[in-house]
Chains A and B, each alone.
Chain A
């Protein structure tokens, strides 16, 4: 019997058309095109069922609902939970309204999130840091007292620093979906809401360490690794072992000869594809425990890849994009010939800022 393939739906995102299967969300369709049009996601995590829709970082404008009903949607929609329709036209980076809303989301997320990147263990791997770099601004308009929380010991392996939490709920979904008994969740309401354990309980199960990997900020960190090193000074290496509990596929983070951290492997969207057990993560820190596969491919534009780019590594583009966006040509019409100032030819700029030389519309 011949397989009947589902009819593919055509969706256009930022002018680029892509065909996807029914049930695909706008964000997944955008990711299929590539990182240029993929909206940022702080709470959505593809391997976790039900995640998404909370942070509002991935808001997009639907300029045409579908081919049959080409009316635009009245409000911006969260792309991670909105399924595509055939003929849908989506504006992501091309919509000033979307960019404005995202700037707002960054500002909201940073109201109570401390900017302690210099001492935060997540620095260099922080989704919020990247999101803020792309959409935030240097100064804040917030003058009020920040929200802070008392320290709360939740077990031997995981450190909860609630003050940094942006309430993405990823850790709650992780614990719900991959552990037998979730003992932590969200308490309180509004900006007083906090991740906490049930009456001071410790998080104690074989897969508890995965909440560290899914945390987009530095709220949940590895007690065996904290303050040991900055991530960009480490050397990530893919490795595996024959583990009876999990797949045993991990990344070993070396400092010199020493394994200082073990994490699960992540895909290009910084999402763990195979969750690992606590034994692999916290107890196997000798090279002899592992079969080394080779250097980890750092495919995201990350500071981890600083000074160790490989030929196939995608280099960060946001710095160039920011410089290009903020580039202002100087119209100095003075006669400088007598000042003996060397005039730089325009091609010199073109090498550094390719888009800066584009004529203004």
Chain B
């Protein structure tokens, strides 16, 4: 039986309430941390655990914590990034809705470790009912003495604030999130300075994803070494995967990192295979911003070994034959999916969500969307494909924040792996624009 760190008790009736959560062993990690551990010891355990940021970038969480500047007389802040809005990713939402106290427990431990006395949970504004759930849970935890002044008599104070966001994707980028939290337009900041030095209100700040923060309770209770023993290589612990698309059992699954992609798709424990009568065509493994892979490359590495659900294995081969684990937004496409239409759809999203600050992203995302729209609707030219590749190349890496990369990668990878399909759209516009028309040429279907 696979280890469950975040979702072990998620199906217990009433787990969203303090009493039930407490009965299941909740808040014991807060007691342990505040009564028996120093903040440095907690940071050390998180470092030992090797947990990598679960928001998408995969940056080691302990290392991020250790970068936090600690000037005298200046407050420090912890901000939980719950602005989940990547197409295909819905695992934080699931966690907060079903087991809010796990996040609150993680926030208390993490804030204590970082020396923050006021912490924020920045939630996407559309999820108002989740905000109500969190606020209720915070009220319960405060009433029981786990939040507020002098928590459990330890002398540590913590105020936890839930802040609804305005509903812009860019506010999930950590510096744009901080701008938004300060009440300003959600534009990403130039880096350096990084938030660890100058973050919220110009004070040292750590921004972590919901899932990352939620793991700290288990790490404190069981130790960083126990966490690091789960998973594979530098991909330690478990990961929530939000699986969607043409699979039999879409949903949120907690897996130990290192499970073969093939098993994750076909095993009954998880996705339960491709929907009956259809074949696996393509995979977006980590949310819409990561490169798309054709079925054969999704399941196997270039050397023929099985590809695993881990940071290293999914990125094996670079962007030529690999992709990224990202936020764990696992989208499966069968042969009825039109890659051109799908790429246009993703591109449309990034065009809409670009903040417009820097010129490559502001202008380039719109350009790509318009060209893809033209191709999809039968007005493409042969040179459009190379044009798209070139535009994507000129956006990638040249923008203030990673939204430019997020917009460029799906387009560049779709053309890299499914160029025939784009060409078919251009050379057979009559056929391609028929309702439900999909390219049926030679491709690796599994």
Q: Could you list which residues of chain A lie within 8 angstroms of chain B, going by C-beta atoms?
A: 42, 52-57, 59, 75-76, 78, 81-83, 100-101, 104-105, 107-109, 111-112, 141-142, 144, 166-167, 169, 186, 188-193
Contact = CB atoms under 8 A, between A and B. Distances in A.
B359 A189 contact: no
B354 A190 contact: yes
Interface stretch (B15-23, B149-157, B330-338, B393-401): B393-401
A190 B394 contact: no
A197 to B, nearest CB: 16
Nearest to A106: B359
B287 interface: no
A166 B355 contact: no
B356 A190 contact: yes
A54 B358 contact: yes
Question: Most A CB atoms within 10 A — which of B354, B356, B363, B366?
Answer: B363
29 contacts: A52-B190, A53-B190, A54-B358, A55-B358, A56-B399, A78-B190, A81-B190, A82-B192, A101-B394, A105-B360, A105-B394, A105-B398, A108-B360, A108-B362, A108-B363, A108-B364, A109-B359, A111-B367, A141-B387, A167-B362, A190-B351, A190-B353, A190-B354, A190-B355, A190-B356, A190-B366, A191-B351, A193-B355, A193-B356
Contacts of B357: 54, 167, 169
B216 interface: no
A52 B367 CA distance: 24
Contacts of B370: 144
B35 interface: no
A186 B360 contact: no
A20 B168 CA distance: 41
B201 to A, nearest CB: 16
Nearest to A75: B397
A356 to B, nearest CB: 30
A104 B366 contact: no
A186 to B, nearest CB: 7
B352 interface: yes
A108 B356 contact: no
B356 A109 contact: no
A26 to B, nearest CB: 13
Given A81-B190, A186-B185, A191 B397 contact: no
Nearest to A104: B394
Nearest to A144: B370
Interface in B385-414: 387, 394-395, 397-400
B288 to A, nearest CB: 17
A188 B358 contact: no
Contacts of A56: 358-360, 398-399
Contacts of B362: 108, 167, 190-191, 193
A133 to B, nearest CB: 18
Contacts, number: 94
A83 B374 CA distance: 43
A167 B365 CA distance: 16
Contact of B363 (A76, A109, A188): A109
Contacts of A105: 359-360, 394, 398
Contacts of A83: 192
B170 to A, nearest CB: 8
Given A53-B358, A57-B359, A193-B355, 13 more contacts: A53-B400, A59-B398, A83-B192, A104-B395, A105-B394, A108-B363, A111-B363, A144-B370, A144-B371, A186-B185, A189-B170, A190-B362, A191-B362
Nearest to B370: A144
B398 A101 contact: yes
Contacts of B170: 189
A237 to B, nearest CB: 36
A191 B354 contact: yes
Contacts of B359: 42, 54-57, 105, 108-109, 166-167
Contacts of B365: 190-191
Contact of A104 (B168, B192, B355, B398): B398
Nearest to B190: A53
Contacts of B356: 167, 186, 188-193
A147 to B, nearest CB: 8
A76 B367 contact: no
A268 to B, nearest CB: 24
Contact of A144 (B192, B360, B367): B367
Contacts of B185: 186
Interface in B164-215: 168, 170, 185, 190, 192
Contacts of B352: 189-190
Contacts of B192: 82-83
A104 B351 contact: no
A235 B328 CA distance: 64
Contacts of B394: 100-101, 104-105, 107-108
A131 to B, nearest CB: 11
Contacts of A142: 367
B162 to A, nearest CB: 25
Shortest 4 CB-CB contacts between residues of A and residues of B: A104-B394, A193-B356, A53-B190, A108-B363
Contacts of B367: 108, 111, 142, 144
Contacts of B387: 141
Contacts of A167: 356-357, 359, 362
Nearest to A82: B192
Contacts of A101: 394, 398
Contacts of A166: 359
Nearest to A113: B363
A191 B399 contact: no
Contacts of B360: 56, 104-105, 108
